[in-house]
Structure 1
Amino acid sequence: MKWFILAMKNSFNFTERARRKEYWMFILITSIISIALSIFETSVGLEFTEDVGIFSTLFSIILIIPSISVTVRRLHDIGKSGWWVLINLIPIIGQIVLLVFTIKDSTPGTNVYGPNPKEVV
C-alpha cells in the first residue's frame, strides 16, 4: 500500500523515475480495488449498464493522471522518453512493447531523468 500511496502523491510528477516495484504495486492495488468495486456494484445493483458501474467509473477517472504519471516515470527509469507511453495506442503490439519496457530493470546510476531510485534508498 505504501507504493500505491507514493504513486498517488507523485501524480503530477512527470520528470523523475519510478522503480519497478512502485509501478507494479500501483497496478496491483489498482486492480484489486477495481475488482472489489465491480463486485460491490454488481451485488448492490449500482450499475449504469450491464458492465459499467458508478464507483468503477469514478475510480477510473480519478486514476487517469496518476496512471500516466507512474508509467512515464517508469519509462524514465529505463532511460526512455515519457512519450513512449503513446505506443500503447498501437493495438496489441503497443501493449506488448510497453509491457516489456515496464518489466525491464532500471538503468544503473544516474540518467537524464535523475538518480536511480534503488540506489537512493
Structure 2
Amino acid sequence: MSLMFQPLKKYADFSGRARRSEYWLFTLFIIVVEIAYFILVSAIGGGTSGNMNPIGMVLSGLYFLFVLGILIPSLAVSFRRLHDTDRSAWWLLIALLPFVGGLVLLVFTVLPGTNGPNKFGPDPKSSSTGDTAAVFS
C-alpha cells in the first residue's frame, strides 16, 4: 500500500529509479479514482449535454484539481520508471506518436529494471531488501 502513494511522497523527484510495483500501483490508484469519478458523475446525471447539475460541476472541479495535483507526481514516477530500465526520460515523448507510441511506452514500463546500479542510480530492489535485512538483523 505504501508503494501506491510513494510517488506522492516523492512529489517532484525526477531523479533516481522507480520499481515496476511503485509505477503500476500508482497508475492503478489513478485509474480507480477516475472510474469512481465517472461512475459518480454518470449516476447524478452530469452528462455531456451541457446541462450539468451543480453537484456535477463541483465534482468536475474536484476532478480537475485531482488531475492537476497528480500531474507532477505522474511525470516524476514515469521519469524514474524509465530510468530504472536505463532509458532517458526523453522516451516519454514517444507517447506522442499515434498508436505505436503508447504501446512502446507500455512495453518500457512493463520491462524489469536493470540489475544493480545504472547511470540513474542504485537498484531500488537491492536497497529495499537491504532495509528489510537491517530490520531483521
Q: What TM-score do the two structures reach when normalised by structure 2?
A: 0.80
Mapped to 1, the partners of 2:91 and 2:12 lie a distance apart of 18
Please show how residues 1-121 of structure 1 align to structure 2 within 5 Å: 1-45=1-45, 47=46, 49=48, 53-121=60-128
Q: Which runs of 4+ in 1 moved over 6 A?
A: none
Report the CA distance between 1:91 and its aligned residue: 0.9
2:44 counterpart letter in structure 1: V
Point out the structure with max Rg over C-alpha.
2
**CA RMSD between the two structures:** 1.9
Deviations 1:60-100 (A, max 9, x none): 22211111111110000000001111111111111011000
Uncovered stretches (5+) of structure 1, i.e. residues with no partner: none
Deviations 1:18-63 (A, max 9, x none): 0000000001111001111221222234x48459933332222221
Mapped to 1, the partners of 2:48 and 2:8 lie a distance apart of 29
Greater percentage in helix: 2
Q: What TM-score do the two structures reach when normalised by structure 1?
A: 0.89
